[in-house]
Chain A
Amino acid sequence: MTASDSAIVRRVLDGDTEAFAILVSRHHAACLRLATHVLGSREDAEDATQETFLRAYRHLGRYQERERFTGWLFRILVNQCRTTLARRRRGEAQLADAGIELGSWDEDAAEWAERDAMLRTALARLHPVQREAVLLRFSADLSYEEMAAATGVGVSALKMRVKRACARMRALLGESIHA
């Protein structure tokens, strides 16, 4: 029988540091996937994922078993991604002030399959809060309650964001397809 995340957390808190590897292996792929889609950079996503697990370990004592570990972990990841994006915006502003042009978010889209590139382009054009919501829903596969725990936004607002993001993506992809 597979031990629950909460049981693993208790083992770690009792001093079994190596048990944390179980949590990492369980959630690493979903975290990296979400971070990659949110940040649009695998390198940044790896850094964000790494920092997320490290922070999770350091603050594991604050995890309350009444909430799902996934929601708690993704709250850290979402905050980490937001921090990365904010830092990037500040950096871009500084580079722009210095007269340096940056490539677009989907600059390396050629490496992807055409359909995936279109998807990435569509994601890149979403408002950040809509992108975050739609990725938590469809990439991380969180429930709305877990999304609320991860983002601090109410369930109704999140549903609305997902709905609008989906409509926007369909429109964007339709434009691309018919362009």
Chain B
Amino acid sequence: MPNDRDELPRWMQSALREPIAARPDHVERIMALVRGAARANARRARITRAARLRTLGLALAASAAGVAILASSARTMWQSSLPEPLEASATYIGDSIDPALHDTFDLVRFALRARGASRVVLAGDFNAWSTTRTPLSRSPTPNAERWAAVVPLRRDDVRFAFLVDGTRWVSAPRAADRPEAPPPSAASSHRDST
């Protein structure tokens, strides 16, 4: 293809390139519009940034709440997976005389806090370590996790323990104020000083 500069007479090309006189303030008017657009852009950017920050804040708050819930759930799950700490007590509540045996017994109240347990029994020398003969009763709500039984014991009945759900043995507290009793090997009762 021949050079298209030769297709149009030179004077035409020159005429087409002659400058067109614009209004003197035309460029300045354009820049005024551009500056206005820049200000509008900045306003929009500020609004968008603020909206994003609000969204980010909400998201962070939601995330923090989620993390707290998760942490709490994890803690609860971890704690629930651990064996419940059991509070055991054995309290001397009085004497009892068996007329048939002509013998005197200590009435000792055994208690155990065992959350979620379905069966608690007391076993020891006094019942030949039977796991069925001396069950504890569950307290009515709201202390449903507390189990208790009052058991007549001879002075030489010093070894006993709780059995929770047939699998978990729990020692009873020591009877520190029963000097006449021999040292227990598994557990001992606690005689109230009152």
Q: Give A residues with C-beta under 8 Å from B.
A: 17-18, 20-21, 24-25, 28-29, 32-33, 36-37, 42, 45-46, 49-50, 53-54, 57-58, 115-116, 119, 134-135, 137-139, 141, 159, 162-163, 166-167, 169-170, 173
Contacts and interface: CB of A to CB of B under 8 A. Distances in A.
Contacts of B12: 119, 138, 169, 173
Contact of A163 (B4, B13, B15): B4
A33 to B, nearest CB: 5
Contact of B20 (A42, A53, A169, A173): A42
B31 A167 contact: no
Contacts of B18: 33, 116
Interface residues of B, number: 28
Nearest to A162: B4
Interface in B30-80: 30-31, 33-35, 37-38, 41
Contacts of A54: 30, 33-34, 37
Contact of B15 (A24, A28, A119): A119
A137 B7 CA distance: 12
A17 B34 contact: yes
Contact of B35 (A17, A33, A159): A17
Contacts of B35: 17
Contacts of A139: 16-17
Nearest to A28: B27
Contact of A169 (B1, B8, B26, B37): B8
